A and B are shown apart, each in its own frame.
Chain A
Amino acid sequence: MESFTYLWHGFQTALTPYNFGLMLLGITLGVLVGVLPGLGGPNGVAILLPLTYGMSLLPGGTTSAIILLSCIYWGALFGGAITSILFNIPGEAWSVATTFDGYPMAQQGRAGEALTAAFTGSFVGALFSVLLITFLAPVIANFALRFGPPAFFGVYFLTFASFSGTSRSPFSKTAAATLFGFILAAVGMDTVSGTLRLTFGFETMIGGFDFLVAVIGLFGLGEILLSMEEGLAFRGGKAKLDLAIVFKTWRDMFRHWKTLLQGCLIGAWMGVKPGGAIAASFMAYAVAKRTGKNPEEFGTGRIEGVIAPETAAHSAGASALLPMLTLGIPGSGTAAVLLGGLMMWGLQPGPTLFAEQKEFVWGLIASMYLSNVVGLIVVLATVPLFAALLRIPFAVIAPFIIVACVMGAYTVHNSMFDVWLMLIFGIIGYLCKKLDYPLAPLTLALILGDKMEDAFRQSLLGSRGSLLVFFSQPLEATLMIAGLILIAWPLVTGRRRKRIGGEGDR
């Protein structure tokens, strides 16, 4: 009960006019860095960090600084969805799954709907996890400790398994795309052996391929090339521009409560371990697709396809805060910078933080609640503004999207090499779409591939090469068996469907 006193106190502090003003400022700044090319989450928050530092030095300023920082954090997360939906350029790894249906929706003139669904989904997901943290913090923190390398491998395996069989492309092409993604992820320094591999002697390749560079090329530039085939016409021009769309979408979203709930649960569960938000967004998308009434319509602009990954990613993003605070392991690049900020103010994350720094912890949680609500209101108000971007003639917006892609690719590592690489990925993305190689498994493998390999080899190192390690504990065994069932499922049902209808070769 003592903690609720602190929480209540946190609410009171956060609601003073000064702090409320800071919230609005923080959200706006956050959305700005989330939307601007090349700033994105981690970079953007890092840039704004010194701002909060100066503030925390003032008497009683720590709370204000926390509020500002958490608002920037949420704003950046909200902002990431905007570019994914409008221009097919994901700003963070977990926004990739949002593009699958969000971008088609924007092209059909339903950008306002997609943005509203994304923002509302994020809000619900985050709120769910913050509530969970408020009531179940110690339980969740201990759960995160149970993940050793075999369990990590199990989680990644399950993510891939949930995606298997959902692609409409021929099997050999899906497999080839996945393998290609894995190979790209393997380039550079290998964590487990500490050696360089697949660099073929090029100094510029030792850092490996950053997924952001690849994704900007594959999705952003590839899409521009593809839409150029139809000339300079842009398909999103009919976007509705009034706020009524928000309420209309909310009405629709009630019907998808199941998807929302799935997203919340998957996100909260996956977010507890590091890097969970990425896996969560992909997995929630796959689960929504598998359990949806018309799986084959996913990818053509289904609203569930936006709700599921956004809800899961933000639910995971919020629940990842807990391991960050109690274990010192940030769940994402943005959270890592947030962690750096907290340490700059002299807060050492760890199991004792909740006991030693009650006021800070509950102040942070209180500001998470409030900034999430304020954030939702602010971003929803901007929906018409962003949807209006699609009304700009294509001849004007297309070169700016390319400038944005170049900026985005350059700022990842401040290197021109990455920009050229992005161009190559643009061609690959274009070819993949033309020749029906699916991009989703390619990106999933590129993003999670090296983590999965690390977990696999760390497990084998520990077990001296025995594969039984993946089935030796209840947690690991459950994950692996669930994954195997998911893989086997479409083989069973798919064969039956083939016997009845036959998909026919193209």
Chain B
Amino acid sequence: MRTTLTLRFAALAALLTAPAVAQTKWEPQKPIEIIVNAGAGGATDQLARTIQAVCLKHNLTKQPFIINIKPGAGGAEGMLEAKKASGDPHKLFIGNSGIYAIPLANKVPFNWRDLTPVAIVALDEFCLWVHGDTPYKTAKEFLDAVKAAGPNKMKMGGTAALREDQIITALIDDKAGTKFTYIPYKSGAEASVQLVGKHIDANVNNPSESISQWKAGQCRPLCIFSKERSEYKQKVAGDQSWNDVPTAKEAGYDIEYVMLRGMFLPGDVTADQTAYYVDLFKQVVSKPEWKEYLEKSALKSAFIAGKEFTDFLVKDEARHKEIMTKAGFVAQ
């Protein structure tokens, strides 16, 4: 779009204003926009704002961040926005497993390969939560009770339909022989309140979505759907820490599910530009404020970039396809 004339002007201006900067390293020239494809105040928004705050405090970028909330269509709107921004290195997109689940469940013309993967900055975990007043002490006790009650008698709440929460519910139904009625809500916070109000029997919220209710004794995690127990040993509720929550495998169910929290650039950006952001996020995740944020939200710390990240995406996508096809979630 830009004419050669404008390019020349820009080059001239750059030459005049910043002669000392070598031309090897790319740096953002204008505010960096972070596309958040979920509601304001939600987990993705918090992640974006933490990145913003850490960069602000440690002066990691010369340009400010703008957070662009695009919650429409369960996140699909934000995904398409990122896809449309092809070639623009001043836009970042925060991806979660919606990047495969949404295109599979609907015919949305999107594939994560339309974007440039930068880095995974954290992994989000899921727990099986029940109300604090219920007698169940282990996942087995609860799921046996669900099985005994018969199909469609117990209600599982979760965020949105045909997404991670419903996928985990399908995995539970498959491994435990239960049959939950899945009720989708707009957000994890809503699902959490509905559980406390006893309008549903269980949910599979992220730790951060229910931590406060756990502290107050209103709900309780029975197991965590992760390969190993959480790394956080600090007491959270009473004498319990995240580390005390058994994995689903320990409880006798071979169910594993973690969700990526990854940063993406739009497609068609240069290797220099990607490298700049990989380096930036490497710095972000090493700061104490970031670690504090991870612990507070009980996110699994992780930093995966480059080819490893692409491999992760390919594998994760194939797994989603398999589970969703089996559960009948894939659009015909």
| Chains A and B touch each other in the complex, with CB atoms below 8 Å apart | yes
B192 and A50: CB pair below 8 A? no
Report A-chain residues with C-beta under 8 Å of the C-beta of B64: 50
Residue B189 lies at the interface, judged by CB distance under 8 Å to chain A:
yes
Residue A148 lies at the interface, judged by CB distance under 8 Å to chain B:
yes
B70 and A340: CB pair below 8 A? no
How big is the A interface, by class? 35 or more
A337 and B197: CB pair below 8 A? no
Asked whether A191 and B193 contact (CB < 8 A) given A50-B56, A352-B216, the answer is: no
In chain A, what residue has the closest Cβ to B77?
A207
Partner of B108, one of A145, A206, A414: A206
A206 and B41: CB pair below 8 A? no
In chain A, what residue has the closest Cβ to B105?
A194
Partner of B80, one of A191, A203, A458: A203
Give B183 Cβ to nearest chain A Cβ, in Å: 5
Give A454 Cβ to nearest chain B Cβ, in Å: 7
B152 and A464: CB pair below 8 A? yes
Instruction: Give B101-116 as 1s and 0s: 1 = Cβ < 8 Å from A's Cβ atoms.
Output: 0000111110000000
In chain A, what residue has the closest Cβ to B199?
A148
Q: How far apart are the CA atoms of A145 and B192 in the complex, in Å? A: 10
B163 and A194: CB pair below 8 A? yes
Asked whether A458 and B184 contact (CB < 8 A) given A206-B108, A350-B211, the answer is: yes
Residue B224 lies at the interface, judged by CB distance under 8 Å to chain A:
no
Q: How far apart are the CA atoms of A330 and B39 in the complex, in Å? A: 11
State which residues 15-65 of B face A: CB under 8 Å: 39-41, 45-46, 49-50, 52-53, 56-57, 64
Give B314 Cβ to nearest chain A Cβ, in Å: 24
Give A199 Cβ to nearest chain B Cβ, in Å: 9
Give B266 Cβ to nearest chain A Cβ, in Å: 15
Report B-chain residues with C-beta under 8 Å of the C-beta of A336: 39-41
Beyond contacts A207-B73, A327-B189, A344-B53: 14 other A-B pairs, Cβ-Cβ < 8 A, are A46-B67, A50-B64, A148-B197, A206-B77, A208-B73, A327-B192, A328-B192, A328-B193, A330-B41, A350-B216, A351-B215, A413-B72, A461-B183, A462-B183
Query: Which residues of B are in contact with A by a Cβ distance under 8 Å?
Result: 39-41, 45-46, 49-50, 52-53, 56-57, 64, 67-70, 72-74, 76-77, 80-81, 105-109, 152, 155, 160-163, 166, 181-187, 189-190, 192-194, 196-197, 199-200, 211-213, 215-216, 218, 292, 296, 331
Complex A-B, nearest 8 residue pairs according to Cβ-Cβ distance, in ascending order? A350-B212, A207-B72, A194-B161, A148-B199, A194-B162, A189-B73, A351-B216, A145-B197
> Can you identify 12 A-B contacts, CB atoms within 8 angstroms?
A54-B56, A194-B163, A195-B106, A206-B73, A206-B108, A208-B73, A274-B190, A343-B41, A344-B46, A346-B292, A461-B183, A464-B181
Query: Which residues of A are in contact with B by a Cβ distance under 8 Å?
Result: 42, 46, 50, 53-54, 57, 144-149, 188-196, 203, 206-208, 210, 274, 327-330, 333, 336-337, 339-340, 343-344, 346, 348-353, 413-414, 454, 458, 461-462, 464
